[in-house]
């Protein structure tokens, strides 16, 4: 395949994985926050058992955390692929000394 098609494919996958990473992060932060489903000071005395666990789509907080981890690793791999596809640009910006820009109004 041409390099442009690889760029489009990697960038599109990167966007999808980033949206999944953000979504799982928001689920962990706001829908299933730390301590959700556990027996804490607030839950005691309300008749909750130790086995009460909050779930979303049949998954517990720890299972959502595992998904978040794997999505983050996929995002990292795609970022490495993105950098590899743009390696010439990275080398030019990082290792070569840029020429001084000429003034716009030069006589």
In order, the DSSP letters of the chain are --HHHHHHHHHHHHHHHHHHHHHHHHIIIIIS-TTTTS--TTTTTTT--TT---EETTEEHHHHHHHHHHHHHHHHHHHHHHHHHTHHHHHHHHTSPPPPPPPSS--
Residue-level pLDDT at 99: 66
Residue-level pLDDT at 37: 61
**% of the chain at pLDDT higher than 90:** 48
> pLDDT, tens digit, for every residue of 23-66?
999 999 988 888 766 554 444 444 444 455 688 888 888 999 99
- Contact status, residue 67 vs residue 24, Cβ threshold 8 Å: yes
């Amino acid at each position: 395949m041409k390099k442009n098609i690889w760029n489009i494919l990697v960038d599109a996958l990167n966007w999808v994985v980033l949206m999944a990473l953000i979504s799982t992060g928001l689920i962990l932060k706001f829908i299933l926050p730390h301590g959700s489903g556990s027996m804490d000071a607030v839950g005691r005395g309300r008749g909750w058992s130790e086995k009460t666990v909050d779930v979303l789509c049949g998954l517990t907080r720890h299972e959502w955390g595992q998904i978040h981890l794997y999505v983050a690793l996929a995002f990292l791999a795609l970022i490495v692929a993105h950098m590899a596809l743009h390696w010439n640009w990275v080398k030019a910006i990082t290792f070569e000394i840029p020429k001084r820009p000429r003034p716009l109004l030069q006589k």
